[in-house]
C-alpha cells in the first residue's frame, strides 16, 4: 500500500461500501470468470449488451486482469452489474489504445470487422499512461434507481481496483447525460472531456460518441483516505438524482 492507505484501511473501505449496498437492498458478489459474467448480463432485461471490452471472445480477460461485481436483490435476482479491467500502457497511451481498438479486442486485425473504427479527441488522453484501469458495463435495475447508489457503484470499484492493482489512472467512457446529471461526480470521477471515444463497431451495432472521465492515482488515494468510513447516511442516499437511468458501457 502507498500514500498511507493501508490494507486494513482498504478492507474497511470495501466493507463500508458493501454495507451501503446492503442498506439499499443489494447483496454483492465479485468474480473474474467473464464467461459466467456475460452469461448473466446477456439475459438481463433492459440492459444493453456487454461491450467487447468485457467479452472473453473479444478481449483477453484472465484471472487477475479483470473483475466483475454483481448485486442481487433480497430475492436473489440480479439488480446491478459492473466490471473493471486493467491494461499496461507503459509504452503507449490511452488515446492510442482506444484508436487502435485494442481497448475492445485482444487482436483487432482478427476480431474487428471491416468498417470498425475508433477515434479519441480528448486532449488529455495521450497523457494517460502506465497501469490504467477501465471501469464499465455499469447497469442498475430500474427499481433500484434514485436510491443514491451511484456513490456505492464508484467507490466499491475504486477500492477493489486499488487493492488489486494500485493503478496510475482509472477511466470510464460515458454518454453525455451522465455528465449533465452529475452521475460521474457521484461515482467519484474528477476529470471529464468530450469525444473521448467515437466508436463504430458495425458487427455489434455500436455507434458511440462518449465522454472520457478519469481520476489519477493521487486522486484515488485521496478518495480512499477521506471516504474510509463513507459517512453515507440516509440523508446522503436521499439526495441523489432520482432521474439516473442506471447504465453506461
Is residue 248 a part of any domain in this protein?
A: no
Is residue 224 a part of any domain in this protein?
A: yes
Do the strands 247-248 and 130-140 form a parallel or antiparallel pair, or are they unpaired?
A: antiparallel
> Of 228, 237, 220, nearest to 151 (Cα)?
237
pLDDT of residue 148: 78
Is residue 65 a part of any domain in this protein?
A: yes
Is residue 2 a part of any domain in this protein?
A: no
Alpha-carbon gap, residue 52 to 67, rounded angstroms: 15
pLDDT of residue 2: 55
Is residue 247 a part of any domain in this protein?
A: no
Is residue 184 a part of any domain in this protein?
A: yes
Alpha-carbon gap, residue 180 to 186, rounded angstroms: 12
DSSP designation for 129: -
Indicate the helix (H) or strand (E) that contains 89: strand 78-89
Helix (H, G, I), strand (E, B) or coil at 222: helix
Alpha-carbon gap, residue 152 to 155, rounded angstroms: 5
**Percentage of the chain modeled with pLDDT above 70:** 89
pLDDT band at 228 (very low <50, low <70, confident <90, very high): low
pLDDT, mean of residues 71-89: 97
Alpha-carbon gap, residue 245 to 226, rounded angstroms: 28
For the segment 171-181, what is each residue's pLDDT rounded down to a tens digit?
Answer: 999 999 999 99
pLDDT, mean of residues 15-26: 82
Q: Which of 90-94, 126-130, 152-156 has the lowest mean pLDDT?
A: 152-156
The yes-or-no verdict on residue 95 having pLDDT over 60 is yes
pLDDT of residue 34: 99
pLDDT, mean of residues 11-17: 79
**Percentage of the chain modeled with pLDDT above 90:** 73
For the segment 186-226, what is each residue's pLDDT rounded down to a tens digit?
Answer: 999 999 999 999 999 999 999 999 999 999 999 999 888 87
Supply the CATH number for residue 182's domain. Answer: 3.40.630.30
Is residue 245 a part of any domain in this protein?
A: no
| pTM for this entry | 0.89
pLDDT, mean of residues 96-121: 97
pLDDT band at 240 (very low <50, low <70, confident <90, very high): very low
What residue numbers bound the domain in which 25 lies?
A: 7-232
Mean pLDDT of the chain: 89
Cell 480528448 belongs to which residue?
122
pLDDT band at 242 (very low <50, low <70, confident <90, very high): very low
The yes-or-no verdict on residue 132 having pLDDT over 90 is yes
Is residue 96 a part of any domain in this protein?
A: yes
DSSP designation for 209: E
Number of structural domains, the chain? Answer: 1
Amino acid at each position: 500500500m502507498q500514500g498511507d492507505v493501508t490494507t486494513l484501511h482498504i478492507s474497511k473501505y470495501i466493507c463500508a461500501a458493501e454495507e451501503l449496498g446492503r442498506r439499499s437492498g443489494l447483496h454483492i458478489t465479485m468474480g473474474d470468470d467473464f464467461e459466467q459474467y456475460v452469461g448473466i448480463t446477456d439475459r438481463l432485461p433492459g440492459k444493453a449488451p456487454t461491450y467487447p471490452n468485457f467479452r472473453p471472445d473479444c478481449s483477453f480477460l484472465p484471472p487477475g486482469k479483470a473483475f466483475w461485481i454483481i448485486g442481487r436483490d433480497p430475492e436473489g435476482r440480479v439488480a446491478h452489474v459492473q466490471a473493471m479491467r486493467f491494461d499496461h500502457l507503459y509504452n503507449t497511451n490511452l488515446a492510442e489504445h482506444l484508436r487502435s481498438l485494442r481497448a475492445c479486442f485482444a487482436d483487432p486485425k482478427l476480431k474487428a470487422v471491416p468498417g470498425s473504427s475508433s477515434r479519441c479527441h480528448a486532449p488529455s488522453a495521450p497523457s494517460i499512461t502506465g497501469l490504467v484501469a477501465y471501469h464499465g458495463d455499469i447497469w442498475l435495475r430500474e427499481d433500484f434507481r434514485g436510491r443514491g447508489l451511484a456513490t456505492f457503484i464508484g467507490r466499491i470499484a475504486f477500492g477493489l481496483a486499488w487493492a488489486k492493482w494500485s493503478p496510475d489512472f482509472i477511466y470510464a467512457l460515458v454518454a453525455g447525460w451522465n455528465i449533465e446529471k452529475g452521475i460521474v461526480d457521484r461515482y467519484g470521477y474528477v476529470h471529464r472531456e468530450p469525444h473521448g471515444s467515437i466508436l463504430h463497431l458495425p458487427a455489434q451495432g455500436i455507434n458511440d460518441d462518449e465522454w472520457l472521465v478519469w481520476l489519477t492515482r493521487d486522486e484515488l488515494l485521496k478518495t480512499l483516505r477521506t471516504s474510509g468510513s463513507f459517512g453515507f447516511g440516509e440523508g446522503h442516499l436521499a439526495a441523489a438524482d432520482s432521474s439516473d437511468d442506471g447504465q453506461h458501457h
